[in-house]
């Protein structure tokens, strides 16, 4: 559990390949060293939100807190750049932890194969061709919508509710809300259906209608599965990742602030 008794000294650095980010990483390594991942107390992730998500996936089994420094565009999951004059271990010692549970996706495809993936941001289905998608929505084994005609549909985590979900006019939900937004992408029928807020314990199932005429792909963060026929989604409580934020810069506060942003 964070924080440790003393400021962490064993840091492992990863970065995007841009020249500015790699030089910044080199400067930090020159000052603090670069511990082996098997001995590290904190992973320092230098990049944007996409690279932060990638780092969460890549180091999931190490159970090490991640502190991300923004070298991207939006930086919703990151902290501001730390100047070399400041003491990074002391900043990390004061950081506040946020715990994230991913969504688990099991997708069945037209060729009879089964695919699994995790998503800390969102899982979405979308049409592969000019034809609109037709999707049946089932929650906890009960049919909720027999046929949704749309471009696609998104299931978001609370942390990811400010990303694609928000762009599709879905609701922002707080981290501790225990809710998963379910948001249609350009719904045609039912035209006025705006989506739903589901308890995080809900088991969600999507069935592709007219799969040969209207092929659909499913995406979990950056894992894409094409020609899906059936997709199951559920929050995975057995997995918990720890992200560190500066005091006053916590993810939960950013999610609240985002709701008051024009």
Are 157 and 216 in contact by the 8 Å Cβ rule? The answer is no
Token pair, residue 220, equals 């979990």
Q: What is the pLDDT of residue 210?
A: 96
Integer Cα distance of 89 and 68 in angstroms:
14
CATH code of the domain covering residue 156: 2.60.200.30
Contacts (Cβ under 8 Å, ≥6 apart) of 54:
222
The H or E element spanning position 173 is none
Say yes or no: 248 and 219 in one domain: no
CB 218 within 8 Å of CB 227: no
Q: Is 236 annotated as a binding residue?
A: no
Residues 119 and 228 occupy one common structural domain = yes
Residue 173: give the domain boundaries: 103-235
- Whether 5 is covered by a domain: the verdict is no
**Residue with tokens 């939006």, as numbered in its chain:** 74
Is 88 known to sit in a ligand binding site?
Answer: no
Nearest to 92 by CA among 153, 187, 11: 11
113 and 211 assigned to the same domain: yes
pLDDT at 85: 87
Q: In terms of domains, do 31 and 64 share one? A: yes
**159 is known to lie in a ligand binding site:** yes
Give buried/exposed letters for 181-212 (b at 16+ CB in 10 A, else e).
bbbbbebeeeeeeebbbbebebebbbbbbebe
In a domain, residue 6? The reply is no
CATH number at residue 96: 3.40.50.10330
Q: Which two tokens stand for residue 80?
A: 């501001």
163 is in an annotated binding site: yes
Residue 87 is labelled as binding a ligand: no
* Of the candidates 89, 22, 96, 102, the residue with the CA atom closest to the CA atom of residue 61: 102
Q: Decide if 49 is catalytic.
A: yes
Bridge partners, residue 133, by sequence: 150
Do residue 56 and residue 115 come from a single domain? no
- The H or E element that residue 93 is part of is helix 88-94
Q: In what order do the strands lie in the sheet with 228-235?
A: 114-119, 103-109, 228-235, 204-208, 133-139, 142-150
Backbone angles phi, psi at 239, to 5 degrees: -110, 130
Does residue 54 fall inside a structural domain? yes
Instruction: Write out pLDDT tens, residues 80-126.
Output: 998 988 999 999 999 999 999 999 999 999 999 999 999 999 999 99
Query: Does 197 belong to an annotated binding site?
Result: no
Is the residue at 3 inside a domain? no
Same domain assignment for residues 62 and 185: no
Q: Is 151 annotated as a binding residue?
A: yes
- From 49, 87, 141, 227, active-site residue: 49
Q: How far is CA 67 from CA 55, 77, 94, in A?
A: 10, 9, 12
The total domain count for the chain is 2
- The pLDDT value recorded for residue 59 is 96
213 & 160 share domain: yes
Residues 164 and 90 in one domain: no
Please tell me whether residues 144 and 200 are part of one structural domain. yes
**Low-confidence residues in the chain, pLDDT < 70:** 249-250, 254, 262
């Amino acid at each position: 559990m964070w924080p440790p008794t003393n400021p962490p000294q064993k840091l492992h650095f990863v970065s995007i390949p841009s020249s500015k980010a790699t030089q910044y990483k080199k400067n930090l390594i020159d000052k603090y060293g670069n511990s082996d991942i098997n001995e590290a107390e904190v992973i320092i992730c230098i990049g944007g939100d996409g690279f932060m998500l990638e780092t969460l996936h890549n180091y999931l089994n190490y159970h090490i807190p991640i502190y991300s420094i923004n070298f991207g565009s939006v930086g919703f999951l990151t902290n501001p750049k730390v100047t070399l004059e400041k003491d990074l271990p002391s900043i990390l010692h004061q950081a506040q932890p946020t715990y994230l549970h991913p969504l688990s996706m099991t997708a069945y495809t037209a060729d009879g194969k089964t695919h699994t993936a995790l998503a800390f941001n969102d899982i979405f289905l979308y049409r592969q061709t000019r034809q609109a998608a037709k999707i049946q929505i089932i929650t906890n084994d009960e049919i909720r919508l027999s046929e949704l005609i749309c471009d696609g549909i998104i299931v978001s985590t609370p942390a990811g509710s400010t990303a694609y979900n928000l762009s599709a006019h879905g609701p922002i939900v707080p981290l501790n809300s225990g809710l998963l937004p379910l948001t249609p992408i350009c719904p045609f029928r039912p035209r006025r259906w705006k989506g739903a807020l589901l308890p995080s314990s809900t088991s969600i199932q999507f069935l592709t209608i007219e799969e040969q005429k209207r092929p659909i792909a499913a995406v979990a963060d950056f894992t894409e599965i094409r020609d899906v026929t059936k997709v199951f989604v559920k929050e995975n409580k057995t997995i918990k990742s720890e992200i560190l934020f500066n005091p006053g810069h916590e993810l939960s506060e950013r999610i609240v602030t985002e709701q008051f942003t024009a």
